[in-house]
């Protein structure tokens, strides 16, 4: 029987998580590093994401972007990268027979990117276009507006992509400086998931990551500063045919013992087409096309939010219904049946995702990088099973308070529209 996962720590601090999968024909190599926009200063806000772009622009072994993409495309690989506020990742997924080749390419990108000055100049325009695309898509941009409202002028409140002025003006030498000070062994987790053996994965990492930079000091982000004593509202005026909003409350950080309770609550309120909010907002009243809830956790803070796309003339009614459901779950205990359904929903979604090597790699690497410990899917399921009706009731009464409430809105409304401010209350 295969081990569920294996964690190996090398002497230089690099960590390898191997997740053997017996019944798959693929393998995923994911490299995650503990840095993101939260680790930036205001002057270089956006550099983490910009640097992610530059890591695909050439190494000594693969001089240009086409050399990298051609090699990965030639084996039908799926590959990409992502930047968040607290971590950055690079991955490729391919047939298991190409494991060594995939490890070679991903390690080369991660360790040996040239960060060429001419390529940086060319990529500035690409990043600017990505920022423009995000601004032009209110359904995506609303999340940035919401977090700016939640956290204000501090790293957690800044856009991951950064302001355009920074993208146009960050000097080439800053990329190398940031790269050297954040991309190193002790700050990195490699995850290998799929049809691969433990010793095979370990030997490959030893071979391909042998020259990874070493550094003892791991940067920690500045603690988040939160001061709020009443509901907050932020309105972005835009001539849209549909209003997009995020309304939510401050929640729990990644280490909080009750964070699973909020996941269950998000399913009860807004997970799936039979959830309370989908039923009340869309099915019964026809107020929105999309509506749902989610919970996010950072190292020292978190949130619980509901997102919706609403007809402009019905925004007030939609907000009232959403906040009414918040009040209801705070004032009335959920039933045992509804609680069990939410648990089974989460476990079912997790089980489906764990059939993919890339999802498993992310699941394990993310825990090790962010929390310094790993819970298996079965251990996660057991934590969910232990959540009680009383736990949900207590958490709802803890988070659904006026002084924790915030709403971001993009639509054809004035920035100080009193009719919007007046309905945001619990």
Catalytically active residues, by annotation: 52
Three-class secondary structure of residue 312 per DSSP: helix
Q: Report yes or no: 76 and 95 within 8 Å, Cβ to Cβ.
A: yes
**Cα three-residue angle 154-144-279, rounded to 5 degrees:** 130
| Closest of 52, 28, 367, 61 to residue 182, by C-alpha | 52
d(CA 197, CA 102): 15
Rounded Cα distance, 340 and 354, in Å = 21
- Number of CB atoms found within 10 A of residue 73's CB: 11
Q: Terminal CA-to-CA distance of the chain, rounded, Å?
A: 52
Q: Tokens standing for 344?
A: 């089974």
DSSP state, residue 376? -
The residues with which 291 forms a beta bridge, in sequence order, are: 308
Q: What is the DSSP string of 162-183?
A: --HHHHHH--HHHHHHHHHHH-
Which residue in 147, 306, 321, 142 sits closest to 240, CA to CA?
A: 142
Tokens of 32: 């995650």
Phi and psi torsions of 295, nearest 5°: -135, 140
The candidate with the shortest Cα–Cα distance to 315, out of 220, 224, 175, 410, is 410
Task: Give the residue among 195, 306, 206 at the shortest CA–CA distance from 248.
Answer: 306
């Amino acid at each position: 029987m295969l081990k569920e996962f294996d964690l190996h720590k090398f002497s230089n601090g690099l960590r390898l998580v191997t997740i053997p999968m017996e019944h798959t024909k693929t393998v995923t190599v994911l490299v995650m590093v503990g840095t993101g926009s939260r680790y930036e200063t205001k002057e270089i806000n956006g550099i983490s994401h910009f640097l992610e772009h530059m890591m695909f622009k050439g190494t000594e072994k693969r001089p240009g972007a086409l050399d990298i993409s051609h090699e990965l495309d030639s084996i039908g690989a799926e590959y990409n990268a992502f930047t968040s506020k607290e971590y950055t990742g690079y991955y490729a997924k391919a047939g298991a027979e190409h494991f060594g080749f995939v490890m070679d390419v991903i390690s080369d990108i991660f360790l040996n990117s040239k960060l060429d000055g001419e390529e940086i100049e060319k990529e500035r325009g690409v990043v600017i276009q990505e920022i423009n695309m995000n601004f032009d898509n209110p359904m995506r941009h609303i999340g940035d507006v919401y977090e700016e409202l939640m956290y204000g002028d501090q790293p957690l409140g800044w856009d991951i992509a950064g302001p355009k002025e920074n993208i146009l003006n960050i000097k080439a030498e800053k990329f190398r400086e940031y790269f050297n000070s954040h991309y190193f062994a002790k700050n990195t987790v490699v995850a290998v998931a799929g049809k691969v053996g433990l010793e095979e994965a370990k030997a490959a990492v030893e071979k391909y990551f042998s020259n990874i930079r070493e550094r003892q000091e791991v940067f920690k982000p500045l603690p988040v500063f939160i001061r709020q004593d009443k509901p907050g509202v932020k309105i972005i005026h835009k001539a849209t045919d549909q209003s997009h909003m995020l309304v939510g409350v401050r929640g729990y950080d990644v280490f909080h013992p009750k964070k699973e309770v909020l996941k269950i609550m998000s399913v009860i309120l807004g997970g799936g087409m039979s959830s309370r909010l989908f039923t009340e907002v869309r099915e019964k009243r026809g107020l929105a096309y999309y509506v749902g809830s989610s919970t996010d956790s950072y190292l020292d803070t978190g949130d619980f939010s509901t997102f919706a796309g609403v007809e402009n003339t019905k925004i007030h009614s939609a907000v009232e219904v959403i906040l009414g459901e918040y009040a209801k779950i705070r004032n009335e205990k959920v039933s045992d049946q509804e609680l069990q359904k939410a648990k089974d929903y989460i476990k079912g979604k997790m089980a489906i995702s764990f059939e993919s090597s890339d999802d498993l790699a992310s699941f394990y690497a993310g825990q090790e990088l962010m929390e310094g410990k790993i819970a298996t899917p079965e251990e996660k399921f057991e934590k969910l099973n232990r959540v009680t009706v009383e736990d949900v009731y207590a958490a709802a009464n803890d988070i659904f308070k006026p002084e924790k409430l915030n709403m971001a809105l993009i639509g054809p409304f004035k920035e100080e529209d009193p009719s919007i401010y007046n309905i945001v209350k619990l």
